[in-house]
């Protein structure tokens, strides 16, 4: 367990005489080395996976302005789109996504993380590529709905997956590493779109079609690779030896999801539905999602409307994205490092409120570069989504509750993706004053709800505070149904009879 100096985890005698020897004490240095090994095995690949999630989900924003200076070659002209059609095309993704989020996430408890996450990525890549073949607005809507169905379950599934490997005060930062690392890489999607724009006319296809086709194919290839690269559970991993597996399992909280108790339990779901904090976190995540997707989908158009040509807008969007994701990485690392959420979340919200207030008031008096500069204050919002997802994933017990809770929070929040596509309307251009004030209200409501939830969890003292750091070894095993404890030796050695990686 993590502690100062060279303290060791207390020895707990195994209750299972047939379990064999299982390492039950280790030094901080041993733990550090093992967890570095786990971090480097899991997080970089999840970053790559989430990068293609973000690109395939939001590349319609880049596609919308590609080659628009060439008559008849833009997405909207070629598909006969008018007015708010683009808004509805972006929102359509979330209709399928919201409906299938919870069922998809629960399937991880029936299959395995590598199988289900691989399936999600492979099938969404295929559908993403099909967007390059649509010929009218109705076809685009249909494919966007299918894309949402195929992608459903990835984000909550990744959050659930991390709880099998990391402590409560480590999950939020790992979600942030996944988001931020992927975001930094996908920040260069503007460069990719910029390059693909010059393929306009190749093979008789316009540039935006090539964008969907090439990025969709890349996602499917990564999806297939995920099955072979991503380990499922600590107990079944082959990149760790038996002592290392025992350390990973032994340092987890006893209430965490576990390979030995991952079956679906409908009684636990019924109990979870009575927890008001699940609905509060879903509401907070909904608000931040409306805010974020309005920007994700339409930031290129907002920048372009400031007076920049389309190719320039794609390029100068890159530093905004990159710095925002770097902030996400840092603030969530700091939050978990110091085990503190109140001040860290406020630091993420307050500069954003200032940005929208200024853009909503003094923007008409600024130059295009002054308006563009204010967008850099909005980047602080990047730290909030992974922080909130981490709180949601670690503020309950067991695999069933965690799977349902993360699925519910992200499913309900992604209704915000439908609404987010409507924040920046054509009649609000070029300054988008109304859209900026909407974002101000969304951020203010989000941070108020989040503070109430953090206060409640801290007051209870189980999921935040010192009790959140109690380990499996200290408890003697994994808690099942809140009371029954599966012995640590059985938990640590469960992978001998199952698993592939």
- Taking residues 228-243, what's their average pLDDT? 90
- Taking residues 8-16, what's their average pLDDT? 38
pLDDT at residue 18 tops 60: no
Please tell me the predicted confidence (pLDDT) of residue 260.
Answer: 58
- 177: nearest Cα among 295, 50, 83, 267: 50
- Taking residues 190-215, what's their average pLDDT? 85
More confident site: 71 or 335: 335
pLDDT in tens, 282-316: 999 999 989 988 887 788 888 888 888 877 887 88
Please tell me the predicted confidence (pLDDT) of residue 1.
Answer: 39
Check: CATH 3.65.10.10 for 28-487?
A: no
**DSSP result, 133-197:** G--SHHHHHHHHHHHHHHHTTHHHHHHHHHHTTS-HHHHHHHHHHHHHHHHHHHTTHHHHHHHHH
d(CA 239, CA 385): 31
pLDDT in tens, 400-414: 788 888 889 888 887
Q: Which of 49-58, 278-287, 368-377 has the lowest mean pLDDT?
A: 49-58
Beta-carbon neighbour count of residue 353 at 10 Å?
Answer: 19
Q: Which of 68-72, 191-195, 202-206 has the lowest mean pLDDT?
A: 68-72
pLDDT at residue 234 tops 80: yes
Q: How confident is the model at residue 372 (pLDDT cuts 50, 70, 90)?
A: very high
- Taking residues 135-142, what's their average pLDDT? 92
- 92: nearest Cα among 435, 410, 417, 438: 417
- Taking residues 382-391, what's their average pLDDT? 91
The phi, psi pair for 84, rounded to 5°, reads -95, 15
- Determine whether 238 is exposed, middle or buried from the number of CB atoms within 10 Å of its CB (0-12, 13-18, 19+): exposed
d(CA 146, CA 99): 11
Q: What's the mean pLDDT when you consider all of the chain?
A: 82
Q: Is the dihedral of CA 166, 167, 171, 177 positive or negative?
A: negative
Q: Are 1 and 246 in contact (CB under 8 A)?
A: no
Q: Which of 85-89, 218-222, 354-358, 443-447 has the lowest mean pLDDT?
A: 85-89
pTM for this model (two decimals): 0.77
- Taking residues 439-463, what's their average pLDDT? 90
Please tell me the predicted confidence (pLDDT) of residue 483.
Answer: 53
SS3 263: coil
Please tell me the predicted confidence (pLDDT) of residue 8.
Answer: 38
């Amino acid at each position: 367990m993590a502690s100062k100096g060279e303290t060791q985890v207390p020895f707990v005698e195994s209750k299972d005489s047939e379990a064999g020897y299982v390492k039950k004490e280790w030094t901080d240095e041993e733990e550090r080395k093992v967890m570095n090994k786990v971090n480097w095995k899991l997080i970089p690949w999840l970053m790559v996976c989430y990068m293609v999630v973000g690109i395939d989900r939001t590349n319609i924003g880049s596609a919308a302005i590609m080659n628009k200076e060439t008559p008849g070659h833009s997405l909207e002209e070629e598909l006969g789109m008018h007015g708010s059609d683009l808004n509805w095309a972006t929102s359509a993704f979330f209709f399928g996504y919201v409906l299938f989020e919870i069922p998809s996430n629960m399937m991880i408890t029936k299959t395995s993380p590598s199988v289900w996450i691989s399936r999600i990525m492979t099938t969404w890549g295929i559908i993403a590529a099909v967007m390059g073949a649509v010929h009218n607005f109705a076809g685009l809507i249909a494919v966007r709905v299918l894309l949402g169905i195929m992608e459903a379950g990835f984000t909550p599934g990744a959050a659930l997956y991390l709880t099998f490997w990391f402590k409560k005060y480590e999950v939020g930062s790992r979600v942030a590493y996944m988001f931020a690392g992927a975001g930094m890489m996908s920040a260069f999607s503007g460069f990719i779109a910029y390059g693909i724009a010059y393929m306009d006319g190749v093979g008789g296809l316009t540039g935006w079609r090539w964008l969907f086709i090439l990025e969709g194919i890349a996602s499917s290839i990564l999806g297939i690779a995920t099955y072979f690269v991503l380990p499922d559970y600590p107990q079944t991993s082959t990149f760790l030896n038996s002592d290392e597996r025992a350390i990973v399992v032994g340092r987890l909280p006893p209430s965490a999801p576990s390979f030995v108790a991952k079956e679906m339990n409908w009684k636990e779901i019924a109990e979870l539905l009575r927890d008001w904090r699940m609905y509060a976190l879903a509401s907070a995540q909904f608000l931040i999602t409306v805010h974020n997707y309005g920007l994700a989908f339409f930031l290129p158009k907002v920048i372009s409307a400031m007076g920049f040509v389309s190719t320039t807008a794609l390029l100068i969007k890159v530093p905004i994205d990159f710095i925002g994701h770097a902030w996400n990485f840092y603030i969530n690392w700091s939050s978990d490092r110091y085990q503190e959420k109140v001040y860290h979340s406020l630091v993420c919200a307050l500069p954003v409120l200032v940005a929208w207030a200024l853009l909503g008031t003094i923007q008409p008096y600024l130059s295009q570069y002054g308006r563009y500069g204010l967008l850099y204050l909005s980047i602080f919002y990047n730290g909030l989504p992974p922080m909130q997802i981490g709180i949601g994933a670690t503020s309950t017990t067991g695999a069933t509750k965690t799977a349902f809770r993360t699925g519910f929070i992200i499913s309900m929040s992604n209704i915000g993706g439908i609404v987010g596509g409507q924040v920046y309307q054509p009649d609000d251009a070029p300054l988008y004053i109304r859209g900026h004030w909407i974002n101000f209200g969304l951020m203010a409501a989000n941070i108020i709800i989040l503070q109430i939830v953090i206060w409640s969890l801290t007051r209870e003292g189980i999921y935040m505070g010192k009790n959140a750091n109690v380990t499996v070894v200290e408890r003697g095993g994994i808690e099942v149904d809140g009371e029954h404890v599966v012995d640590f030796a059985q938990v640590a050695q469960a992978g001998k009879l199952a698993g592939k990686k």
